[in-house]
Amino acid sequence: MQERFRYKTRDELLERVHSLGLEMPFDDDISPLFYPASLNGFNIPNRFVVQPMEGYDSEKDGSPSGLTKRRYIRYATGNSGILWYEAVAVSPDGRSNPRQLWININNVKNFAVLNEEVRKSAAIDQISPLLVVQLTHSGRYSKPEGKSKPVVAGLNAILDKEPPYILSDDDLKKIQDQYLVAAKSVFKSGFDAIDLKACHGYLIIDLLAARSRRNSIYGGEDYSKRFRFLLETIDRIKSEVPGIIVTTRLNISDLYEGGFGVNRFGEIDYTEPLLLIEELKSRGIKLINLSMGSPYYNPHVTRPYDNPLPGQKVPGEHPLEGVMKMINGTSLFQKKFPEIYFVGSAYSYLRQFIPNVGASVIKNGGASFIGLGRSSFAYPSLPHDLFKDGKADPSKVCITCSGCTRLIRNLRPGGCVIRDREIYGNELKKLIADGE
Ligand SMILES: Cc1cc2nc3c(=O)[nH]c(=O)nc-3n(C[C@H](O)[C@H](O)[C@H](O)COP(=O)(O)O)c2cc1C
Ligand code: SF4
């Protein structure tokens, strides 16, 4: 059942949580959020992560634009310990939109300049964040020229209205080579880590779920074939780009039939995601960002909200149930693999209570980092304010209105229409005036 967030005090929130039959970690002591963490020789100053958030604002050649730079400088001065850069395409064909960032040998320098400025801005407060970049191929959701041009690992009756192009093994080998070329550019441009995006319906999670694929080394009923593309790409990056940390943002459950991490009814089944984490662990992967669902099929799962997009179906689930599904799922993985740092997702619905819930999650070993997506668009200085004042400012929080999603769905630059109104409120006005 959909319900707007209307809780002004801790007691009001926790009462509603209990009345839904849920239990939510909550602590007044937020100090665990400021525990440092050490990863492969890097000292990460706190437990906040700016989650990857696509801004649809690159230059034509895929380079960061002035608007992109503005977003990342805001994150850098906000003092999060990890800045996890948004989905960056490995090839022009794999772009989710014509203005998705795309890293290539001709624009490495522009990414390097951005990273230098980001590091300089963070250093003003003596913060040295870990810079992770998410590499992606958009697969079923590719729109390189603004129109859908889906390519898939395997057919899915729920997701595919028209039969899409099924990538051959040779196509996939070429795409893997593109990941390698991009990884070398990432290293040259000064990032600390590469995330091979395996979530939200894009190509690698599609491969992990590709049971319907036939006569292929990259799919079929055997899960080890479905894991192969991701693991092989990791192995190649580790051997051909030594010195860069490798990680993944992984869906632990797609929550639809034919997806990854589900049984045949589309319900959560962590059997294969747990096997995959074993494989990642054996490759020395120490940082993994967890997510669930698909923004195209079940957006309330991946980002619990107050308002759906115009015309979108209202979900049957309460947003607090969505938040707890992600917290409990992450906790299960964190407790099974305590040697890995897991980043938890989908906290923005909790607004000014994010620090209390996040701190309790960290303290109880339910995650190692608290990832903030929409909240980072709306309130990038949350970690800075908490460090300085000890509390979040309710007038700056994300109100989960879906305005930023509406912008990017219509191929407009993405940002917060409420708290960053001058730029993105105006973008929304233009979009409405254009009748979109
Ligand atoms: C506008 C927008 C862009 C996003 N872009 C990405 C992305 O590039 N990569 C990714 O893994 N997730 C992306 N996400 C998902 C977020 O990282 C995050 O998982 C989601 O918003 C839920 O977290 P939250 O409750 O803190 O917002 C995006 C979400 C939104 C709303
Ligand atoms: S537009 Fe702003 S307030 Fe609305 S969901 Fe996006 S970040 Fe949150």
Listed in sequence order, the DSSP H helices in 252-345 are 271-282, 299-302, 319-336
Judged by average pLDDT, the poorest of 19-28, 309-318, 327-336, 379-388 is 309-318
307 and 419 together in one domain: no
Model confidence pLDDT, tens digit, residues 399-427: 999 999 999 999 999 999 999 999 999 99
Residue 436 binned pLDDT confidence (cut-offs 50, 70, 90): confident
Distance from residue 301's CA to the centre of ligand 1 (Å): 12
Q: Give the contacts of 356 (CB within 8 A, at least 6 positions apart).
A: 10, 26, 27, 28, 30
Both 287 and 426 in one domain: the answer is no
Q: Does residue 397 fall inside a structural domain?
A: no
Residue 408, domain extent? 402-436
Q: Are residues 50 and 90 in the same domain?
A: yes
pLDDT > 90? residue 337:
yes
For range 257-286, the mean pLDDT: 98
Average pLDDT, the chain: 97
Residue 395 lies in a domain: no
Indicate the pLDDT class of residue 126, thresholds 50, 70 and 90. Answer: very high
Atom of ligand 1 nearest to the CA of 398: 27
Q: How confident is the model at residue 2 (pLDDT cuts 50, 70, 90)?
A: confident
Same domain, 406 and 376: no
Q: How far is the CA of 328 from the centre of ligand 2 (A)?
A: 24
54 lines ligand 1 (CB under 6 A): yes
Which ligand sits nearest to residue 290's alpha carbon? 1
pLDDT at 190: 98
360-372: per-residue pLDDT in tens? 999 999 999 999 9
The number of folded domains in the chain is: 2
pLDDT in tens, 83-107: 999 999 999 999 999 999 999 999 9
Residues with CB under 6 A from ligand 2: 374, 377-378, 398-404, 416-419
User: DSSP secondary structure string, 352-420?
Assistant: GGHHHHHHHHHHTTS-SEEEESHHHHH-TTHHHHHHHHSS--GGGS----SHHHHHHHTTPPPS-TTTS
Same domain, 377 and 417: no
Structure tokens at 351: 């607004």
Ligand 1 in reach of 167 Cβ (< 6 A):
no
Looking at the structure, do residues 53 and 131 belong to the same domain, yes or no?
yes
Candidates 68, 77, 76; CA nearest to 110 is 68
> 380, 410, 393: which is closest to 309 by C-alpha?
410
Classify residue 155: in a domain, yes or no. yes
The answer on pLDDT for 247 being more than 90 is yes
Mean pLDDT in residue range 167-194:
98
Same-domain status, 270 and 375:
yes
User: Is 90 exceeded by the pLDDT of residue 232?
Assistant: yes
**Residue 280 and residue 428 in one domain:** no
For tokens 């608007």, name the residue.
67
Segment 297-322 shows an average pLDDT of: 94
Please give the average per-residue pLDDT across 229-247, as a whole number.
98
H helices present in 105-259, as ranges = 108-123, 169-188, 203-208, 223-240
Q: Is residue 162 part of a domain?
A: yes
Ligand nearest to the CA of 408: 1
Which residue from 263, 166, 262, 251 is spatially nearest to 215, judged by alpha carbons?
Answer: 166
Is 315 in the same domain as 342? yes
CATH, residue 167: 3.20.20.70
397 with 378: CB under 8 angstroms? Answer: yes
> What pLDDT score does 287 carry?
98
Q: Does the beta carbon of 347 sit less than 6 angstroms from any atom of ligand 1? A: yes
What six digits make up the tokens of 169? 């093994």
Please give the pLDDT value at position 182. Answer: 98
pLDDT tens per residue across span 28-53: 999 999 999 999 999 999 999 999 99
* Residue 1 predicted with pLDDT over 90: no
Residues 261, 150, single domain; the answer is yes
Shared-domain flag, residues 358 and 410 = no
Residue 162 clears pLDDT 90, i.e. is over it: no
Tell how far the Cα of 256 is from the centroid of ligand 2, in angstroms: 26
